[in-house]
């Protein structure tokens, strides 16, 4: 095996040198024109030395995958090299099922950071919050950890436990959370009901393949009773599939309006996603609720609604993830999750690392948030009603829609009772 690998690497080196000699013209060498070739020769040298001299035998598979991982880790926090099993898990996740703790994580400012805990998962129930920084996993520091390494440490057999050491804003001391892993089946829509007699309330927790049909079913059921409008709750929604987010925005924005555009280095990465949905709810008043756990796809929907003045955004500033990742399968079953483009709202705004500021900012204290989360979990368990006293953001959304409805009715009555005007 060693001999075969050595011959293969030697062929690469000889080929590179041959091409260099052939293409060298005057003072401009191949290294000047194509520096990648010279560096590939260097990489081949390193792999050959490791194969020959390292203290333990290392397989070609591990060396090549390690080299690929090293390349990807020099890029950005959202690009990843996925081993075959990780790629398989990722595909399952987009369909709504996966194993683990139930948190979306990223690398932010050099720290392993929680984007959001997914509702009704072990992490959510344990009290993990958006923007928590994971300092240790089972007592081991996460300094210089990669996303892949973190995922491997956090995943495991259902029933096993992991200890997360958290650094949280406004807390002087680190917090330890012991969380038991479980198999997670995540529904795209967590809540769809009529509240306050005539307002439709839909909470989308992630954008998956089934989000559009599920949302359509919910709207079809609620619409006859939604005279005052609809509240779309995107709090703690970390995103998901770009097309799914575009589809949801299209339900409320008439065709053909721009929902989001993407720009990258290659022509096929420069795209415009246009609303194409028929029978859109363009006349129904709309309020969207955001918070710091609303990211990516949530920000695409919110950005389109805000730019086209289609509804009102309330809550707190969103997370700020304005990049697009493409998943590129590789020949051995692994894949690259690569940042290939940046997305822009209809008015050309990139919100990466900035987020979307709501039209009406309604902060919520840590104590209020904790009480709300506990009440939500209890309500789900007991099949109870929403306690609006514990949710000031939702209460404000209801007040807004009620006010808009009264204004609309009053204006309609005044118009109907007014004297006709004749132009002279």
Return the active site residues. 296, 307, 321
Residue 245 β-bridge partners: none
Kindly state the tokens that stand for 12: 């690469």
Instruction: Determine contact, residues 304/323, Cβ cutoff 8 Å.
Output: no
Question: CB of 280 within 8 A of CB of 251?
Answer: yes
- Nearest CA-CA partner of 125 in 391, 378, 365: 378
Rounded to whole angstroms, what are the CA distances from 63 to 28, 38, 41, 56, 57? Answer: 33, 19, 15, 12, 11
Q: Are 105 and 134 in contact (CB under 8 A)?
A: yes
As a whole number of angstroms, the distance between CA 38 and CA 34 comes to 8
Residues 6 or more apart in contact with residue 280 via CB below 8 angstroms: 250, 251, 252, 253, 254, 255
End-to-end CA distance of the chain: give it in Å, rounded.
97
Q: Residue 301 CB: number of other CB atoms within 10 A?
A: 32
CB neighbours of 302 closer than 8 A, spacing ≥ 6?
234, 288, 290, 294, 313, 318, 356
- Which are the contacts of 187, defined by CB distance < 8 A and separation ≥ 6? 96, 205, 214
């Amino acid at each position: 095996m060693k001999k075969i690998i050595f011959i293969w690497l030697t062929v690469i080196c000889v080929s590179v040198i041959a091409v260099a000699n052939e293409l060298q013209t005057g003072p401009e060498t191949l290294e000047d024109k194509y520096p990648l070739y010279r560096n590939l020769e260097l990489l081949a040298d390193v792999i050959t030395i490791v194969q020959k001299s390292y203290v333990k035998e290392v397989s070609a598979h591990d060396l090549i995958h390690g080299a690929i991982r090293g390349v990807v880790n020099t890029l950005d926090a959202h690009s990843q090299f996925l081993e075959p099993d990780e790629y398989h898990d990722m595909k399952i996740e987009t369909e709504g099922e996966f194993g683990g703790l139930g948190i979306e994580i990223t690398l932010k400012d050099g720290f392993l950071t929680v984007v959001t805990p997914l509702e009704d998962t072990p992490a959510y129930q344990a009290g993990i919050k958006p923007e928590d920084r994971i300092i240790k996993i089972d007592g081991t520091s996460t300094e210089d950890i990669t996303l892949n390494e973190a995922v491997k440490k956090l995943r495991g057999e259902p029933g096993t436990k992991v200890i997360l050491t958290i650094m949280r804003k406004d807390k002087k001391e680190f917090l330890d959370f012991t969380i038991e892993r479980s198999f997670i089946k995540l529904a795209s829509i967590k809540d769809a009901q009529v509240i306050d007699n005539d307002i439709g309330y839909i909470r989308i927790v992630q954008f998956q393949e089934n989000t559009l049909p599920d949302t359509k079913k919910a709207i079809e059921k609620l619409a006859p009773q939604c005279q005052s409008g609809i509240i779309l709750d995107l709090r703690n929604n970390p995103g998901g599939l770009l097309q799914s987010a575009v589809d949801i925005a299209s339900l409320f924005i008439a065709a053909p309006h721009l929902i989001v555009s993407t720009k990258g280095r290659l022509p096929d990465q420069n795209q415009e996603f246009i609303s194409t949905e028929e029978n859109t709810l363009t006349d129904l008043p709309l309020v969207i609720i955001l918070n710091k756990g609303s990211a990516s796809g949530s920000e695409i929907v919110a950005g389109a609604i805000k730019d086209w003045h289609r509804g009102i955004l309330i809550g707190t500033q969103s997370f700020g993830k304005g990049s697009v990742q493409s998943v590129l399968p590789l020949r051995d079953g692994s894949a690259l999750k690569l940042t290939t483009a940046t997305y822009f709202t209809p008015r050309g705004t990139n919100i990466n690392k900035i987020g979307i500021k709501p039209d009406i900012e309604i902060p919520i204290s840590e104590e209020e948030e904790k009480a709300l989360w506990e009440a939500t979990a209890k309500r789900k368990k007991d099949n109870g009603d929403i306690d609006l006293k514990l949710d000031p953001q939702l209460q404000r959304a209801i007040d807004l829609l009620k006010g808009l409805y009264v204004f609309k009715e009053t204006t309609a009555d005044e118009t109907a009772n007014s004297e006709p005007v004749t132009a002279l």
